[in-house]
Amino acid sequence: MYKLSFFVVALVMLTSCGDKKTKSEEDSSTITSSEEGMPAAAEAAPDASTYDPNRGIGKHTSVDLGAKLDVAMAAEGEKIQSVKCSSCHKMTDEKLVGPGWKGVTTRNKPEWIMNFITNPDPMIDKDPKLQAQLEICLVRMPNQALSDADARSLLEYMRKNDGVK
């Protein structure tokens, strides 16, 4: 009797778990294409899903850095780095789990950095530099679910680390 009850409960649980869409899958299935009534301004915008070696993949197509370092933003970035990033990245060029951050802002455009911070999975899947880095580090960067403001603060902290004043 107990075996039959267990089997029935297990069967019900397995069948009830199938083919449920997550919120993001439901949202993405309702997005309309430009042929279905997107405004003309949206049609002219770059496709955020297309890989570009200068900006990567994502919504960040232009990042205004300013000539001088934003000290307050860099301080906020340092706090975020200590909580979210320091277990895998050193501020030097030395590899920990992931690569060191020294020189990252001189090797990559700000848009690329912002897109990688906020959109790591598609970037790793498409970007040859990141695929080569993955072969060295053997660990994918996890999506830390950082806001655009948090990512921008991290970028400013990276700039500070690279000597921007």
CB 85 within 8 A of CB 143: no
Question: Which of 3-7, 81-85, 103-107, 133-137 is least confident?
Answer: 3-7
pLDDT digits (tens, 9 = 90+) for 67-82: 899 999 999 999 999 9
Confidence (pTM): 0.71
Type of residue numbered 52: D
**Around Cβ 94, how many Cβ atoms within 10 Å?**
11
Tokens 């205004």 map to which residue?
Answer: 64
pLDDT digits (tens, 9 = 90+) for 27-62: 333 223 233 333 333 334 456 778 999 999 999 999
Q: What angle do CA 110, 113, 115 make, to 5 degrees?
A: 110
How far apart, in whole angstroms, are the C-alpha atoms of residue 58 and residue 114? 8
Going from the N-terminus, what domains does the chain have, and what CATH number goes with each? 71-161 (1.10.760.10)
